[in-house]
Amino acid sequence: DSGVTQTPKHLITATGQRVTLRCSPRSGDLSVYWYQQSLDQGLQFLIQYYNGEERAKGNILERFSAQQFPDLHSELNLSSLELGDSALYFCASSVGVAAYEQYFGPGTRLTVT
Amino acid sequence: TQLLEQSPQFLSIQEGENLTVYCNSSSVFSSLQWYRQEPGEGPVLLVTVVTGGEVKKLKRLTFQFGDARKDSSLHITAAQPGDTGLYLCALPLTGSGGSNYKLTFGKGTLLTVNP
């Protein structure tokens, strides 16, 4: 158990819909990272937040957004969902903004039908 | 273009066999990480290698960083069914913010160890 929690574990929704994925980092960690894992693209970095502020962006679509709240939990919002958005979404956390030892949560499996 | 190429993509072996998986890049990198991901779980960090030529051991797992810091290998001795999983190599990279470390992953080697 990494100490990072993610909810829900599974999510099934239809094209065009909007969903919110939630992540709680390890106790004491200030950075939260979001990753997407699909069979064709592998595990890809989406975005990082540190202590409530966006710090780094990867290949995140404009239809996707994230935020980190004062209690340090984070949410990833996915809108106008397409079939190709079906994937595993992982959250990871680390102590500092530049720490590269990241601890991953168990993931949310999103299926868009 | 994939920054990190992992091979083989799939590997199925019998319990007790030895195996090596590889992670290669055309670029020089300052450090590299290896992760293992079990089905239904997130990746778990196994090791970080930093120095060219470095060798690190973790029980039956031996990690090597190439002298030129462009490649790495993971060798498993006497594989067990519990070693089954997706082995990923990853580069910590400076993000757009300057000092941030986002991870860039290879696509992984899916290892199955049969009893």
pLDDT of residue A11: 97
Extract the tokens encoding A79.
């809108």
Q: Are the beta carbons of B20 and B72 closer than 8 angstroms?
A: no
Pairing outcome for strands A103-104 and B32-37: unpaired
**Residue A98 contacts B where some CB pair is shorter than 8 Å:** yes
pLDDT band at B99 (very low <50, low <70, confident <90, very high): low
Encode pLDDT of A50-90 as tens digits: 999 998 888 899 999 999 999 999 999 999 999 999 999 99
Pairing outcome for strands B71-76 and B10-14: unpaired
Q: For residue A56, give the nearest of B95, B107, B108 by CB distance.
A: B95
- Measured CA to CA, the distance from residue B86 to residue B60 in angstroms comes to 17
Query: Residue B42: helix, strand or coil by DSSP?
Result: coil
Encode pLDDT of B1-52 as tens digits: 568 999 999 999 999 999 999 999 888 888 899 999 998 899 999 999 888 8
- Measured CA to CA, the distance from residue A113 to residue A65 in angstroms comes to 21
* B88/A90 Cβ within 8 A: no
CA distance B47 to chain A (A): 10
